[in-house]
Amino acid sequence: MMAEPLVQLRGVERRYLAGGTSVAALQGVDLDVAEGELVALLGPSGSGKTTLMGVIGGLDRPDAGSVMVGGIDVAALRGDPLAVYRLRTIGFVFQSPGLVPLMSAAENVALPLQLMGRPPAGAETSAFKALVSVGLEARMRHRSFELSGGEQQRVALARAIVKEPRLLLADEPTGQLDSETSAAIVDLIRSFRGRTTIIVATHDEAIAAMADRAVKIEDGRLFTGSMVSAGK
């Protein structure tokens, strides 16, 4: 028997009401992602990528359909279990790094571990290792406002991966970076393969090419079936 997919979405619907009109941000979305896969979610601006990532990551809730991640019924979570899900199961990287400006790189990376109740010494060691894995050990003590945009995004990656999340969600992680810096971020995300399952949202076909598989989203509808498999 095939192993259960880590992520399983069925019939996911999400509508927004804005300015008197209703926008179907997600329509009948079915998606399976196997443990260990690196999937690119490819679609133009406004196609529903962020909405889909939010629904999977427990930042948003579908109006209909089911969202299962690692056997957890994500759409049904409320309160503490939802907070724990976001903190432990999911690593999130957004278009903007969202670091705490006055905290050092190491403090930013250790923060989620502290929220998880890890002892400070262990959190510091893990933060150091995560910063090594993104090549930033030399910037550990820099406060985040003293880092370049690309460096800040590497710290954000370290902060997402330090928790060893089952699922890493990266929403247009190179959206604010020049192409050379973007390539370095993409290489780093690839280097996390084998450590976690990854979904990367992007409008950039070149970025999608690094994935095991690309799924396309357009007007809230997902196309998986006959997709030309990206990259390798």
Ligand X SMILES: Nc1ncnc2c1ncn2[C@@H]1O[C@H](COP(=O)(O)OP(=O)(O)O)[C@@H](O)[C@H]1O
Residue 22 CB, nearest distance to ligand X (Å)? 9
Catalogue the long-range contacts made by 184-189 (C-beta closer than 8 Å, 24 or more residues apart): 184/150, 184/154, 185/150, 185/153, 185/154, 185/157, 186/210, 188/133, 188/134, 188/135, 188/154, 188/157, 189/38, 189/157
**Contacts with ligand X, residue ranges (CB under 6 A):** 16, 18, 23, 25, 43, 45-51
Contact with Mg ion (CB under 5 A) among 50, 152, 182, 196: 50
Residue 100 CB, nearest distance to Mg ion (Å)? 23
182: left (phi over 0), alpha (psi -120 to 50) or beta: alpha
Contacted by 48, from Mg ion, ligand X, none: CB < 5 to 8 Å by type? ligand X
47 counts as binding Mg ion under rule CB under 5 A? no
* 8 Å CB contact between 90 and 57: yes
Enter the tokens of residue 192. 């996390």
**Nearest CB to Mg ion, comparing residues 47 and 152:** 47
Residue 100 CB, nearest distance to ligand X (Å)? 25
Residue 115 CB, nearest distance to ligand X (Å)? 26
Which residues make up the interface to Mg ion (CB under 5 A)? 49-50
